[in-house]
Amino acid sequence: MIPVAFDYVAPTSVEDALAALAQHGDDAKIIAGGQSLLPVLRMRLNAPEMIIDLGKIESLRGVRDDGDAIVVGAMTPHSVVGSDPLVAEHAALVAKAIEHLADAQVRHRGTFGGALAHADPAGDLGAPALALGAEFVIQGAGGTRTVAADDFFVDLFETAIGEDEILTAVRIPKRTGWGAHYEKFVRVAHQWPIVAVAATVRVDGGSIAEARIGLTNMGSTPVRARAVEDALAGQPATEDAVRAAAQQAAAGTDPPSDLNGAADYRRHLARVLTRRAVLAAAGAA
Ligand SMILES: Cc1cc2nc3c(=O)[nH]c(=O)nc-3n(C[C@H](O)[C@H](O)[C@H](O)COP(=O)(O)OP(=O)(O)OC[C@H]3O[C@@H](n4cnc5c(N)ncnc54)[C@H](O)[C@@H]3O)c2cc1C
């Protein structure tokens, strides 16, 4: 279908984009890579009167070193983030997840910030962002605020970004030397995950000193597998120890039942994929 007619602006600064948002209120919608928004418009699930394109705002692009963290501009395409050397060195989990995100075309158009702002519970970037303890930099008319990953994902397709605000960057604390792995379960290649597990671990002398694990599509938002993280701390990085800890992967989750799988099946997947992801991450550390 063809979208309902809309007006279009492409400001060159965040301030101008915010002014356009303030002027058009509920009638406006931001577009980043358009990989999720355009299908929504074409299906006429949303009919904004004004589209505000962030594509010409250079300050929203790129990855930079910021001392104890790396900062990823919201408009940086997945393909750029996934091949960035700073990401590979300090936030390998993000690079691992992007390897499995959609196909090459989508990775070239879709943006890091757009995917996180969209907050699809099956999206591949939420769980890594949660596991890495990312912070979301959000700008509005009143200034800039930073929201922790634990508070960013509010519900299905809902985040802490206000209607008059823009996500400008994501700050990811460095986890240099940590092993990382993203284990995604799909029926055919390039699909959204039925369930996926993002795991990053710090191994010290053959033991797992610290583990951080995020689950994709096990609820209306990405969730941390905290029971597994606690169970893994101080354990040897062996198949038996990781298998035992991974049994708790579904604790506290509320997975959906749909055509791709029942909730119970997803709980089973979470346990199996968590074991695989943690063992692979420990092996890479
Ligand atoms: C065929 C196909 C397969 C895909 N497969 C996968 C997959 O396997 N895994 C996966 O994770 N994703 C997948 N995607 C989605 C892809 O990751 C998109 O890039 C992503 O969901 C949206 O990013 P975008 O930059 O295109 O955002 P857009 O589509 O432009 O925007 C998405 C939403 O976020 C809002 N928004 C965007 N940027 C900002 C901002 N800076 N501040 C505030 N609000 C903002 C928009 O208003 C809109 O509501 C797929 C997409 C397609 C088309």
CA of 240 to the centre of ligand 1 (A): 38
Class of domain 61-173: alpha beta
Ligand 1 atom with minimal separation from the 54 CA: 41
Q: Give pLDDT, residue 25.
A: 87
User: Quick check: 59 pLDDT over 90?
Assistant: yes
Long-range contacts of 241-247 (CB under 8 A, 24+ apart): 241/208, 242/208, 242/275, 242/278, 242/279, 242/282, 243/275, 245/278, 246/271, 246/272, 246/274, 246/275, 246/278, 247/271
CA of 41 to the centre of ligand 1 (A): 13
CATH 3.10.290.10 fits 179-284, yes or no: no
The response to whether residue 33 sits with its C-beta less than 6 Å from ligand 1 reads yes
Residues of the chain with CATH 3.30.465.10: 61-173
CA of 112 to the centre of ligand 1 (A): 8
Q: Give pLDDT, residue 2.
A: 87
Crossing angle of helices 263-284 and 239-246, rounded to 10°: 150
The pLDDT mean for the chain works out to 96
Residue 190 — very low, low, confident or very high, per pLDDT cuts 50/70/90? Answer: confident
Residues of the chain with CATH 3.30.43.10: 7-51
Q: Of 125, 131, 133, which Cα lies nearest the Cα of 100?
A: 125
**b/e 4-39 (16+ beta carbons within 10 angstroms → b):** eeeeebebeebeebbebbeebeeebbbbbbbbbbee
- Give, for ligand 1, the residue of 30, 40, 79, 152 to mutate: max count of ligand atoms closer than 8 Å to Cβ: 30
Residues of the chain with CATH 3.30.390.50: 179-284
> What is the share, in percent, of the chain residues with pLDDT greater than 70?
100
Mean per-residue pLDDT for 134-161?
97
Mean per-residue pLDDT for 101-124?
97
Q: Please name the fold of domain 7-51.
A: 3.30.43
Q: Give pLDDT, residue 191.
A: 85
The response to whether residue 106 sits with its C-beta less than 6 Å from ligand 1 reads yes
Query: Tokens for 19?
Result: 């002014």
